[in-house]
Amino acid sequence: MSNLKRVLENVGTPDFGICVKCKQTIPLGRIFIRPQSLLCVNCAR
């Protein structure tokens, strides 16, 4: 499954915008720029 599909399935759930690795909130700016992101900036490095 593509990352974008996974993210879209989470819209409206408590898991939306949460990093799958560290469980911290993904900044809104990152979601706007890379909506398919499943990781926060720190975990994506």
Give 3-44 pLDDT, tens digit per residue: 989 888 989 999 999 999 999 999 999 999 999 999 999 999
Q: What letter would DSSP give residue 31?
A: H
Closest by Cα among 33, 37, 44, 30 to 10: 37
- Evaluate the CA torsion angle 21, 24, 27, 31 in order and state its sign: positive
Residue labelled with tokens 């890379």: 34
Phi, psi of 32 (to 5 degrees): -65, -40
Verdict on whether the full-model pTM lies above 0.85: no
pLDDT of residue 1: 67
Over the stretch 4-15, which tens digit does the pLDDT of each residue have?
898 889 899 999
pLDDT of residue 6: 87
Domain count along the chain:
1
Tell me how far apart the alpha carbons of residues 15 and 33 are, in angstroms, rounded to a whole number.
Answer: 19
Domain holding 31, by residue range, is 3-44
